[in-house]
Structure 1
Amino acid sequence: MPEQWTMICRLKDMPLAGARMVQRGLAWQELPGVALFRDADDTVHALLDMLPLPGASLAGGTLDGAQLLGPCGSWLVDLGSDRLVAPVQAAVRRYAVRLMDGRIYLDVKELNIPASRAEQALAGSFALLPHVQMA
């Protein structure tokens, strides 16, 4: 599948602490978004904002080296393996990021791929179209 990149924001506009959210899907679908994090080396991590924990959102986390820490130590994601390692083990979905000329791009076609069986069922015969919006 060929890539189709869309600019999200400029790197200098990304906070070093906290996340920038990119919404996915159509407004009526209420799909989990993508949380973007920028580390001290200007590497940008794009992760599906969904964890298998009640009320958990990656957007509430902070980067600490190669780890994403939840509020009050409520969870821990290892960015090297894309895994939630505490309090339970689970995979975390990562999205491809392209940095060009100080701008951050995400692949629209990758954003369209359902992130779960529930999303697949919700989409049915409808395409998941990116509703790219900054929070």
Structure 2
Amino acid sequence: MTDWHDIGALSDIPQLGSRIVKSAQGDIAVFRAADDAVFALSDSCPHRGGPLSQGIVHGHRVTCPLHNWVLELESGAAIAPDVGCARKYPVRVDGGRVLLQLVSVTDSSSV
């Protein structure tokens, strides 16, 4: 069963930053752009598994801290010439709260 899980206030995620949510699917990086848009991707770069949550957020993209791959936050797709995709998760903001759609969430913590 899929459900929306409240993972905290939008203000808990720094602008141009992220928060990690631990789930049955693995670690999920929830990003907040400068314009307060929120995105959720698997916290693993498709290149070599680098922690995307530790990357640099710019616009609606994140740069992996290991090998500088750039991924689109809306889709998880790598920017050419790189090829690959991080899994994306549905996320939304409702009344200042960030909601993540998952099968199950086990724990969450700030980065």
TM-score computed with the length of structure 2 as normaliser: 0.82
Conservation of the 8 A alpha-carbon contact between 1:5 and 1:106 = yes
Which protein has greater RCO, CA pairs closer than 8 Å, 6+ apart?
2
Structure 1 segments of 4+ aligned residues over 6 angstroms from their partners: none
RMSD value, Cα: 2.3
Aligned twin of 1:59: 53
Quote the residue 1:15 is aligned against: 14
- Paired letter, 1:101: G
* Equivalent pair of 1:98/1:106 in contact (CA under 8 Å): yes
Matching of residue 40 in structure 1 with residue 15 in structure 2: no
Q: Does 1:98 align with 2:92?
A: yes
1:74 corresponds to which residue?
68
Provide the identity percentage: 34
Secondary structure at 2:50's aligned position in 1?
Answer: coil
- Calculate the TM-score normalised by the size of structure 1: 0.69
**What is the SS of the residue equivalent to 2:11?**
helix
1:130 pairs with 2:100: no
* SS of residue paired to 2:17: coil
User: Which structure shows the higher strand fraction?
Assistant: 2
What whole-Å deviation, never above 9, does each CA across 1:46-95 have from its counterpart, x for those lacking one?
Answer: 10111233351111112111221123762111235431226730022111
Distance 2:54 2:81 in 1: 16
Structure 2 counterpart of 1:120: none
Check conservation: 1:14, 1:20, Cα contact below 8 A: yes
Letter in 2 for 1:131: T
Aligned partner of residue 85 in structure 1, secondary structure? coil
Quick check: which one's helix share is greater? 1
CA shift digits 1:14-53 (9 cap, x unpaired): 111331000012xxxxx63100110111111110111233
Q: Which runs of 5+ in 2 are unaligned?
A: none
Q: Report how many aligned residue pairs link the two structures.
A: 110
